[in-house]
């Protein structure tokens, strides 16, 4: 096995879930008399932790049992809406299979709750190919803090400088950069102008091959 790793965010990177998160949040906030615009969601939801999102849109700090209850409500709505719509960003699974054949260590590092990750992994059956699986419950500090990526590197037993991250959001790309990793920006939710500088940008996995991965990690 190579002493190199490829780590994927989930929302907007493995699956294009953000439209379904928007739908769930619209229902969630609508019950509370709030109607955020898509522009507000792009700025304050995509790639953000639920704690940030609740604090921002509800206008106060949400903590403790109240946070747990609100998160369970919103994420339950998301899973209900998304369960019959699960599919990957085009060509993700063949790309992952190619990485494994070439001996790369691979992991998932998401700010989403583990229940969301389990729903998607259960449907797409890629968890056996991931040596590291981290969700929001596994870290104290969320993206753009590098904790989730540094923890992934530790679990994969790979130096952060030898890790390539696929991310789609400003906070996610920032977290990977803060961890000292190389980054591919996945343009599922944002234009490249809206992201910190990445080594490469793709719309889907048909636009990257294993030779490019090897070059990015040299």
pLDDT score of 1: 87
CATH number, domain of 58, equals 1.10.150.240
pLDDT less than 70: residues of the chain: none
99 and 201 co-located in one domain: yes
pLDDT score of 135: 96
- Total structural domains within the chain: 2
> Which residues form the domain of 67?
18-82
166 and 145 co-located in one domain: yes
131 and 72 co-located in one domain: no
This prediction has a pTM of: 0.92
Q: What are the residues facing 164 on neighbouring strands?
A: 6, 182
pLDDT score of 194: 92
Cα(52)–Cα(78) distance, rounded to whole angstroms? 17
Cα(93)–Cα(87) distance, rounded to whole angstroms? 10
pLDDT score of 31: 96
Cα(51)–Cα(97) distance, rounded to whole angstroms? 34
Task: Report yes or no: 5 and 153 within 8 Å, Cβ to Cβ.
Answer: yes
Cα(165)–Cα(156) distance, rounded to whole angstroms? 13
> CB-based contacts of 100: which residues, under 8 Å, 6+ apart?
106, 129
CATH number, domain of 12, equals 3.40.50.1000
Residue ending a domain, choose from 66, 82, 98:
82
65 and 94 co-located in one domain: no
125 and 66 co-located in one domain: no
11 and 22 co-located in one domain: no
């Amino acid at each position: 096995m190579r002493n190199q790793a490829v780590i994927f965010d989930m929302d907007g990177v493995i699956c294009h879930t953000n439209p379904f998160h928007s739908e769930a949040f619209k229902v969630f906030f609508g019950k509370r008399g709030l109607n955020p615009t898509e522009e507000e969601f792009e700025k304050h939801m995509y790639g953000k932790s639920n704690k940030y999102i609740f604090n921002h849109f509800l206008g106060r700090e949400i903590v403790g049992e109240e946070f747990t209850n609100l998160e369970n409500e919103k994420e339950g709505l998301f899973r209900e809406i998304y369960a019959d719509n699960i599919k990957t960003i085009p060509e993700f699974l063949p790309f992952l299979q190619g990485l494994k054949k070439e001996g790369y260590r691979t992991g998932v590092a998401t700010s989403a709750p583990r229940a969301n990750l389990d729903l998607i992994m259960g449907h797409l059956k890629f968890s056996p190919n991931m040596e590291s699986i981290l969700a929001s419950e596994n870290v104290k500090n969320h993206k753009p803090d590098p904790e989730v990526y540094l923890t992934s590197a530790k679990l994969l037993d790979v130096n952060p400088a030898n890790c390539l991250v696929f991310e789609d959001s400003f906070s996610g790309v920032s977290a990977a950069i803060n961890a000292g990793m190389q980054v591919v920006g996945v343009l599922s939710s944002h234009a490249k102008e809206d992201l910190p500088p990445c080594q490469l940008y793709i719309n889907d996995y048909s636009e990257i091959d294993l030779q490019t991965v090897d070059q990015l990690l040299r």
